[in-house]
Structure 1
C-alpha cells in the first residue's frame, strides 16, 4: 500500500519517526528487568529482515524463539512495533498473547487469526494498527529510510484475561504489574 507513495514524499517525511522512546519497551515497561533473549533464525538482532516477511514479499510472519525465562513464568506476550513509522506513535505490527513459554513460533504462525499451534491450540492474536488480527507486514514508504521493528517479548507471572483480539491499550493495561522480564530483537527494513 505505501509503496505507491512517491519517493520524494517519503524522503520529505524521513525526519518524521515515532521513535524508540515511544515503544512499550521504553515507556510502559521501561523498569521491567531485561533477561529474555528473543531470536529469529531468519535475521540477526539489528539486521535487515528478509523481504519475504514484508509487504514486498509473501508477508508471512517470521519465526521467533525466546530463552532466559525466569522462574514463575506462566505466559509470554509478543508485541512488535515500528519505531520508524511517520506517525506520532509506533505502528503495531503484531500482538500475540497467552503464549506457552516452551513453544516458539514457527514461520507464518502469526500471519492470521485462527492459526493453530502445537497441540491444536489457537494462537491468541490482538489487533494491529490496521485493526486486523495477525501479522501486519512491514510496508515503509519509499524514500523514508530504514525502519526499526522492535520484536518485544515479555514473560508474565500469569495468564491475561482479555477479550478476543485486544488492541495495544487493553494489552498493556492487562500486563501491568505482571511482567517478570523482557527481551527485544530489532529487525530493520527499508523499501528499495
Structure 2
C-alpha cells in the first residue's frame, strides 16, 4: 500500500481540536489535506471516532463516503444524507445523523478523536441509513490507501 498523508489546517496531528470544530462550538467538520493519493483512486471515505469513550470504544461520530478524489476537502461539509457540493457524497448514520457531529465529551473529560481517511478503487453503493460497520464491510477489498489524523478535546 502506497503511503497517504492526511493533515488539517484546523489542528496538528495529536493536537487540540479548536472549539469551532466541536459540538460545543460551530460543529464544523475540519478541512483535510491529502498527499500521495494514488492515480487509480475512484473515491474517498472518512470516519471520525471517539477513541476515549468509556462505554463504547471508538464511538462513531461521522461517516461519509463517495467523496470525489481530491487533495483538499474543505471544512464545514453541510448536513444531509447527500452532499451536492461534494459530488453527491453520502453521509450515513452515526452520532451525527447524516452529518458531522464533532467532539462532545462530558464536562472536564479529555478525549481523543480519530479521523480516518480511506482512498478507494470504487464508489460505494450504500443507503444513507447505513452505519460505519456497513461501510467497512462494503470497503473490504477496495481500500487502496488509509491514513489517520488524531485530535484531542477537553470539555471545560
TM (norm. structure 1) is 0.74
Distance 1:98 1:123 in 2: 5
Q: CA deviation at 1:34?
A: 6.4
Q: CA deviation at 1:153?
A: 0.5
Q: CA deviation at 1:45?
A: 0.7
More strand as a share of residues: 2
SS of 1:171's equivalent in the other structure is helix
Counterpart residue number, 2:68 = 100
Distance 1:122 1:157, change over 3 A: closer
Counterpart residue number, 1:112 = 79
Distance 1:190 1:139 in 2: 9
Distance 1:51 1:115 in 2: 24
Task: Name the larger-Rg structure.
Answer: 1
Name segments (4+ residues, structure 1) moved above 3 Å.
none
Point out where structure 2 has 5 or more consecutive residues left out of the alignment.
none
Cα deviation 1:15-70 (Å, max 9, x = unaligned)? xxxxxxxxxxxxxxxxxx46111111111111001101112211111112212112
* 1:38-77 matches, cutoff 5 A: 38-77=6-45
Counterpart residue number, 2:122 = 158
Aligned length: 155
Distance 1:44 1:106 in 2: 16
| Aligned residues of 1:93 and 1:129 also touching (Cα < 8 A) | yes
RMSD: 1.7
Cα deviation 1:97-117 (Å, max 9, x = unaligned)? 0011126321211x4114432
Distance 1:189 1:149 in 2: 8
* 1:27-38 matches, cutoff 5 A: 33=1, 35-38=3-6
Point out where structure 1 has 5 or more consecutive residues left out of the alignment.
1-32
| Aligned residues of 2:47 and 2:62 also touching (Cα < 8 A) | yes
Distance 1:39 1:57, change over 3 A: same
Distance 1:115 1:71 in 2: 24
Counterpart residue number, 1:28 = none
1:149 aligns with 2:113: yes
More helix as a share of residues: 1
SS of 1:87's equivalent in the other structure is coil
Give 1:139's match in structure 2, choosing from 104, 107, 111: 104
